[in-house]
Amino acid sequence: MTSQLVCTKERYRACGALARQASLAGLAACLLAAAAWCAAQDRTPAAKLPATRTDNVKEVLHGVEIVDPYRWLEDQNSPETRAWIDAQNAYTHTMLDALPGRDKLRERVTALLKIDVVGTPLARNGRYFFSKRLAGQDQSVIYLRKGIHGADEALIDANAMSPDHSISVGIEEASEDGALLLFSVRQGGADETAEHVYDVDARKDLPDQLPKARYYGVSLLRDKSGIYYTRQTAEGPRVFWHKMGTEVAHDTEVFGKGYGPEIIIFNSLSDDGRYLLIHVLYGSSADRTEIFLQDLAAKGPIAPVVKDVPARFLADFAGDQLVITTNWKAPKTRILAADLKNPLRDHWREVVPESDAVIEGVAPVGGKLAVTLTKNAASQVKLYDLSGKLIRELPLPAIGSVGGLVGRWTSSEAFYGFTSYHIPTTTYRYDISTGAQEVWARLAVPIASDKYEVKQVWYASKDGTKVPMFLVYAKGMQLDGSNPTLLTGYGGFNISETPFYSSTAAAWISAGGVYAVANLRGGGEFGEEWHRAGMLDKKQNVFDDFIAAAEWLIQNHYTKPARLAIIGGSNGGLLMGAALTQRPDLFGAVICTFPLLDMLRYQNFLVARYWVPEYGSAENADQFKYLLAYSPYQDVKPGTKYPPVMFVTGDSDTRVAPLHARKMAALLQAASASGKPVLLHYDTKAGHSGGTPVSKQIDDLLDELSFLYWQLGVTPAMPASSTAGKSTY
C-alpha cells in the first residue's frame, strides 16, 4: 500500500525516494527549538473539543452484532462531515499553534528543508531527463541535460501550474531518440494522474493526453507510433493501445477483459519495441501472478508465460531473454531466464539460485544482471552474467539501502541511490563494464554522519521468534532509561524496511534521541515465509513483534513509556492503531498517518480490494473472526487511558480512505479517560502519493514535531557550529 504496485519493490523505493528526498533535511531543525518553548512542554493549551454526534448504526455479521457510532463520518462530502473536519482542524491548530517558540522552530525547519533535490535520470540517446527542485521552489521541475556534463535545461515547471503549488509532475518514459517525453501530472497527493506527451525539441505538449485516471504502465513504441498503457476502469484494469495523433476516446482495449477491480495489471515494452509484456497481480503483494507476452512484430497473440502457479513472478527483458524473479520453490527468491521465442515454463533455466539473502529485484543493465538483495535487513548489490556467474559485488559505504537502480541492457551506464538513517541520499552513475562510478547528485544536508552510529539488535517476540531492530543515536549516548525514543515499523505486503535517510530520523537523533526501526514479520526482510508469518490470520504476529520491540527498548534502558513515541503510516498506520489499543500503557505519544483502522469495512472503499489477499475480508466468516479480534476501531474501550494521538490524513488520499482516521479520531476522543489530546490533522489536498509542496511540508512536519516534543517533554539540544559558521547536527 506504500506503493500502488507494492510487489515491485524497486519501483516502490524509486518512487518513495522522491518523497523522502523532498523532506530529508527539514526536521533536523527540531534541535534548535527555543528554550522558552522547551520549558513550556507541560502546558496544555486551552481548547474546546468539538462535539461529534453518534448514530450507532447496528448490523449483524456472522452472528455478531457490530455497533458503529460514527458511520456517518464515512460520507466525505456531506456538509455535516465537512463542517466536522473544519472544526477538528481548528481544534488541532488551537492546540499546536499555541505552543511557544514555534516561530523560531519554523525558521530553522524552513532553512534546512529548502535544499536542492535532484532525482535519478532517465537516459535516452545521450539525453538525460530528470527532476530537480531548487531550494526556493515548492515543486520539482523536469529538466533535460544533453550529455552527462551538459547544461541543465528546464522543460516542465510544476510551480507554474497552480497558484498554491499543489500540482506536481513526474517522468514516465521517453522515446528511444529522446525526442518525446511522457510525463504525469498529479493534483495534490492523489494516486490518479493525467499523462502527457511532450515534444522535447519543440518544447510543447502534443494533443495525445491521457485523461486523469489510475495508470499502471505507460509505454511508448520505439518508432513513436503509439502508446500502450494500463488504466483502471470501473470494471477493472485494462490495457489499451493509443495510436499517436488520434482521439483517446478511440483507443483500443487489448487486454484485461474478465479481470475485476481487485486485480492489478501493468505493462511494459522491450527496448526494441518488439515485445509487449503484461503482468497480472492478484493483490498488492502479488502472491499469485500471471505473465503474458506478445510478439508485436509478428502480430502474434497475447500468450501466457505463466498462469497457473500460485507464486510471485516478475519479469523483465534482457536482450533476447526474459529474466524472471520468483519465489516459486524458493521462499527467498531466485532468478530464472527464458528465451523470448520459447518462454514457456518447460524451457526456463535457473540463473541465480536462492541463497541466504533475499533477492529484492533485478535490473538488466549493460549486458549484465544487477541484483539487489537484502541480508539481515540491509541492501547488497551483485552483478551476474546471464550464465549465473558472479562478476562483482558493489562496495557500499555503510549499512543502508540501495534503491532505484536503473539502466538499459545495451548501455553500460547505470544509476543507483544509496542511503542510510544517518547518511543523506547520494545518487551514483555507475559503469557496469569497469565498476567505476561518480556522483550524479548528493543531498546537501547539514548532518555530521560520523557523530551517529547504527546498531542492529535482535529481540524475542511473544512467541519466541527472533526479530531484528535497527537503532540509531549519537555516539556515547547514556543508557539511563530516559532517552526520547521514536519507534516505527511496517510489517506487511512483503516490503523490506532497509535503512534509509529520513527527516524524521535526522530530527530525532539530532535532538539527542533514539530512532528505532523494527523489521516485523509481514515484511520481506527474510523472504516469503517471513511475509506469510504476518498476513491473514497471522497478522497479530506483526503487532506482537512491535510491542515486543517497545518492551525491549524499555527493558534495556534506552527509554521509558513516557518517553517512547511511535509513528507509522498506511499499513504502518494500522500497526499504530493496533499498538495503541492493545497496549495503551506502553507509549507516550502516537502519530498515525493515512491509516486503515476499521478492518471490518476497509474492503468496501477505494482500491482496498487489492489488500484482501493480505488481510482477508469480514465478508468471509473465518476471516471475520481474526479481523474482529484485532481491528483497532472495534477494539477501543471507553474509559481506557489512551496515550496522546495525532491522526494525519487528507482528502486526496485515494488509496486508503480518510474515513478511517476520521472515525477513529472521533471514537478515541469520546472514549479516552487519560485527558491526553486526540488530534486530527486533516489536509484537503494531501494524499498517499506525495506531491505536497515544500511550504506545506514545512507546516506539516512542524506540527508533527511540535506534537511529539510537547507530549514527551523533550528539550531539544542546541546544534554545534561548524568551522564554516553553519550549524551541523
Sheet holding 368-375, edge to edge: 358-365, 368-375, 378-384, 390-393
Q: Specify if 271 maps to a domain.
A: no
pLDDT at 526: 97
Q: Specify if 82 maps to a domain.
A: yes
The answer to whether residue 724 scores a pLDDT higher than 70 is: no
**Which of 658, 626, 613, 627 minimizes the C-alpha distance to 7?**
613
218 neighbors 182 (Cβ within 8 angstroms): yes
- The stretch 612-627 carries a mean pLDDT of 98
pLDDT at 401: 96
The answer to whether residue 7 scores a pLDDT higher than 90 is: no
pLDDT tens digits, one per residue of 321-369: 999 999 999 999 999 999 999 999 999 999 999 999 999 999 999 999 9
Q: Which ranges in 28-78 belong to alpha helices (H)?
A: 35-39
Q: How far apart are the first and last CA of the chain?
A: 33
pLDDT at 15: 33
Q: Specify if 688 maps to a domain.
A: yes
Q: Specify if 600 maps to a domain.
A: yes
- ∠ CA(10), CA(12), CA(16), 5° rounding? 120
pLDDT band, residue 1 (cuts 50/70/90): very low
Query: Which member of 168, 688, 706, 727 is catalytic?
Result: 688
- The stretch 445-472 carries a mean pLDDT of 94
Helix, strand, coil tally for the chain in percent (to 5): 25, 35, 40
432 φ, ψ to 5°?
-60, -35
- The stretch 226-255 carries a mean pLDDT of 97
Quick check: is 688 catalytic? Answer: yes
- The DSSP output letter for 162 is -
- The stretch 435-448 carries a mean pLDDT of 88
Q: Specify if 229 maps to a domain.
A: no
The answer to whether residue 26 scores a pLDDT higher than 70 is: no
pLDDT tens digits, one per residue of 703-713: 998 899 899 98
pLDDT tens digits, one per residue of 205-222: 999 999 999 999 999 999
- The stretch 3-29 carries a mean pLDDT of 33
- As a whole number of angstroms, the distance between CA 571 and CA 542 comes to 11
pLDDT band, residue 9 (cuts 50/70/90): very low
Domain range enclosing 654: 26-111+447-728
The answer to whether residue 20 scores a pLDDT higher than 70 is: no
Residue 321 C-alpha cell reads as 531473454
From start to end of 308-357, where are the E strands? 313-318, 321-326, 334-339, 349-352
| Count: domains in the chain | 1
3-state secondary structure 374-424: EECCEEEEEEECCCCCEEEECCCCCCCEEEEEEECCCCCEEEEEEEECCEE
**Dihedral of the alpha carbons of 272, 276, 282, 288, in degrees to the nearest 10:** -70
Q: Which ranges in 299-386 belong to alpha helices (H)?
A: none
Regarding beta strands 564-569 and 589-593, do their DSSP bridges make them parallel or antiparallel, or are they unpaired? parallel
- As a whole number of angstroms, the distance between CA 229 and CA 264 comes to 13
- ∠ CA(701), CA(704), CA(706), 5° rounding? 105
- The stretch 481-506 carries a mean pLDDT of 93
Tally the C-alpha atoms within 13 A of residue 90's C-alpha that lie toward its C-beta: 11
Q: Specify if 414 maps to a domain.
A: no
Whichever domain contains 722, its CATH number is 3.40.50.1820
The answer to whether residue 4 scores a pLDDT higher than 90 is: no
pLDDT at 686: 64
The answer to whether residue 18 scores a pLDDT higher than 60 is: no
pLDDT at 509: 87
Q: Specify if 386 maps to a domain.
A: no
Least confident of 41-50, 287-296, 521-530, 626-635: 41-50
- The stretch 470-493 carries a mean pLDDT of 96
Least confident of 12-26, 396-410, 654-668, 711-725: 12-26
Report the mean per-residue pLDDT for the chain.
Answer: 90
The answer to whether residue 30 scores a pLDDT higher than 50 is: no
pLDDT at 692: 82
**Total-model pTM:** 0.91
Quick check: is 557 catalytic? Answer: no
The answer to whether residue 17 scores a pLDDT higher than 50 is: no
pLDDT tens digits, one per residue of 88-140: 999 999 999 988 778 877 777 777 678 899 999 999 999 999 999 999 999 99
**Number of other residues whose CB lies within 10 A of the CB of residue 70:** 23
- The stretch 684-705 carries a mean pLDDT of 81
Q: At what angle do helices 79-97 and 659-671 cross, to 10 degrees?
A: 60
Residue 468 C-alpha cell reads as 531484528
Query: Which member of 140, 175, 570, 617 is catalytic?
Result: 570
The answer to whether residue 651 scores a pLDDT higher than 50 is: yes
Residue 255 C-alpha cell reads as 487486454
Q: Specify if 426 maps to a domain.
A: no
106 φ, ψ to 5°?
-65, -40
pLDDT at 476: 95
pLDDT tens digits, one per residue of 254-296: 999 999 999 999 999 999 999 999 999 999 988 899 999 999 9
The answer to whether residue 16 scores a pLDDT higher than 50 is: no
pLDDT at 6: 35
